[in-house]
Amino acid sequence: MFIKFLDHDLRYGIGRAKKRLIVTFIMFFFLSIYHFWTLRIFELTDPQYLESPVTTADYFLALIGGCGKVNLISGAENDFVMPTMWFVFVLWMQFTSLYYPFAELNGIGKQLMVLSGSRGNWWLSKCVWTIINTITNYLIVFAASTIAGLCFGAKPSMQANWYVSRELYMKVDDLTSSTTWNIWSVFLMTGFTMIVLALVQLILSLILKPVQSYFVLAGYLFAGAYIQNPVFFGNYAMGARNALLVSTGLTMPFGILLGIWLAVLSIGIGYFVFQYRDILGSDLS
Amino acid sequence: MKSLRHFLQNELYNLFHSKSFLFVLLILLLIVTADDILAYKSYKDNLQLTLTTVDLQADGTFAEYPFLQIYTLYNSWIGGRANETLPMVFFYTMPVFVVIPYSWSYLAEEKNGYDRIMASQLGKASYFLGKYVSTFLSGALTVLLPMLFSFLLASCLVPAYRPDINFALYYQVSATKLLGNLYYAHPLCTAFLNMLMIGIFAGAWATIPLALSFFEKNKFVVLFAPYLVLLYIIASLQKASVYRSFTETSVLNYIWMTSSSSNQSIVVYTIMTVSLILLPLAIVLERGKNADVY
């Protein structure tokens, strides 16, 4: 029964959402191109940055890197620059998995649940759908930035050059390398964080309704952009705050443990709440 | 016109009794209260530090210049606080929370047929104008009520010292900001002008989903797609203008007085605000005139 639910979700929630997937690709392809613009400036101001070849990893890191740690000192110049590009990325990723589960529930989902006689399978199927949908969208973002890089002459590689740190407002003294970083682990950690946040959004949607949950999650993510702390889990999706890149960054093992705990908690609480909540008589849109 | 007035009264009654509005208001009141308490703590810590480090003279005045003005009412309410987390959350999530209470009401009325009843009673033009005005007011009130509360609470906790230009770093309001010069001369006036700017933006932003609902019927897309588009535009302009131009292009940085923004231009701000007001209004009136409601 679970497989049938999942098959239905994948077909309708991803297979028939081609328009959304195309929009994701176009959006992030064009956002990635801005890195090329910045490189043209660096050619004039700091040509030494470009001594080693520009890679596709530079494009990807510039897109999803966020911003370095902010020093919150009263009476000092505010050095915080809003990582708007990163917000477009995370809020879009959350948006892509926001409405399908509950739109389906208010449509055919209720009938399917009654016919199958299993609420648990419905919920677990939506959790797995959320994970697969997030991975799909994340891979599209990665493909978009990689293709944008290749179009502008970048070398296909996951070795990101250190000069990207300037674009991400990272402090030079804190960098762990003065040449390159292999960003495979940053790539995986960012994807993992997106999955966990999508699952948290799913349980919040069940408790608060999807519209309100998006507001709460957006506020949580904005607070995290200002405060570098594991409590604000969105920090793990910022390459610029990863311990691989900066000595003051957040370590991945703890992030993975915290993420697994959050994901299991979200799925578990959702499973429990879903069993006892009046789903059939309420409007969760 | 009497009917339109009754319609607006009814719409505002519905707004104030909707769960979404109360939910958003509750969250915002919690945010501004927490922020005011943190502002009060900063003020109190500074006062205690001053009293322990600066000697008092025989006549009760300070022997040295006390740095008390670094915390004043005008940089303690949510719109004036600098380098803090909660004001940033408040301003950057504003386009999300102002649309939650009422911006989708037309879509809901279209679904349950209420729009047909009202349009036949009021006339199409009056109904859609009333819908625009009530949606505008819902957005503006959603943000103005918590801000007024924050200002009143802060004024109960922190003295209203006039901001001193020597402590400009503590206020983060420089001459490059639209209200930068007025801030030091007439701070109270500046605070209310700033609230007005924020209220106009919030009201205008709340009407965008109303205009969009003529073209798209998915509630989530109607409510949140404009916000994502706004962030996309801000990110694009930020990246496109980096090292090339120092004129501020983010509307959110214009309305947030203490944001870390570049040079603010009155022309850019006016164009953005007028566009935000007129475009949705034109769409609502034009599409409303041709809407197939009866």
What pLDDT score does B271 carry? 95
Which residue does chain A place closest to B236, by CA atoms?
Answer: A31
Burial (0-12, 13-18, 19+ Cβ within 10 Å), A135: middle
pLDDT over 70 percentage in chain A: 95
CB A71 within 8 A of CB A79: yes
- pLDDT tens-digit map of A86-100: 999 999 999 999 989
Do residue B89 and residue A85 have CB atoms under 8 angstroms apart?
Answer: no
Q: Angle B114-122/B124-157 helices, nearest 10 degrees?
A: 100
CB B30 within 8 A of CB B82: no
Whether A95 contacts chain B with CB within 8 A = yes
- pLDDT tens-digit map of B23-37: 999 999 999 999 999
DSSP 8-state assignment for residue A225? H
Residues of chain B that touch chain A, judged by Cβ-Cβ distance less than 8 Å: 20, 23-24, 27, 31, 42, 70, 82-86, 88-89, 92-93, 96-97, 100, 167, 169-170, 172, 218-221, 223-224, 227-228, 231-232, 234-236, 238-240, 242-244, 250, 258, 260
Does B191 or A274 have the greater pLDDT score?
B191
Write out the H or E segment, with its range, that includes residue B234.
helix B219-241
Q: Is the pLDDT of residue B5 over 80?
A: yes
pTM of the full structure: 0.90
Predicted confidence band of residue B38 (pLDDT cuts 50, 70, 90): very high
Q: How far is CA A223 from CA A30, A122, A227, A228, B2, in A?
A: 27, 33, 6, 9, 46
What pLDDT score does A51 carry? 82
Question: What are the DSSP E strand ranges found in A155-275?
Answer: 159-161, 180-182
Nearest-angstrom CA–CA distance, A139 and A190: 11
- pLDDT tens-digit map of A129-164: 999 999 999 999 999 999 999 999 999 999 999 999
Question: What are the DSSP E strand ranges found in chain A?
Answer: 159-161, 180-182
Whether A90 contacts chain B with CB within 8 A = no
Q: Identify all chain B residues contacting A34, using CB atoms and an 8 Å cutoff.
A: 236, 239-240
Domain regions of chain B by residue span: 2-290
Which residues on adjacent β-strands are paired with residue A196? Answer: none
Q: Is the pLDDT of residue B2 over 60?
A: no
- pLDDT tens-digit map of A127-138: 999 999 999 999
Q: Is the pLDDT of residue B61 over 60?
A: yes
Which residue does chain B place closest to A27, by CA atoms?
Answer: B232
Tell me what the pLDDT averaged over chain A comes to. Answer: 90
The whole-number average pLDDT for the span A38-51 is: 84
Q: What distance lies between CA B270 and its chain's CA centroid? A: 16
What pLDDT score does A283 carry? 65
- Compute and round to an integer the Cα radius of gyration of chain A: 20
Do residue B96 and residue A215 have CB atoms under 8 angstroms apart?
Answer: yes
The whole-number average pLDDT for the span B176-195 is: 92
Whether A92 contacts chain B with CB within 8 A = yes
Do residue B83 and residue A78 have CB atoms under 8 angstroms apart?
Answer: yes
Q: Identify all chain B residues contacting A41, using CB atoms and an 8 Å cutoff.
A: 242-244
Nearest-angstrom CA–CA distance, B237 and B262: 13
Does B238 or A186 have the greater pLDDT score?
A186
pLDDT over 70 percentage in chain B: 99
CB B36 within 8 A of CB B154: yes
Q: Identify all chain B residues contacting A38, using CB atoms and an 8 Å cutoff.
A: 239, 242-243
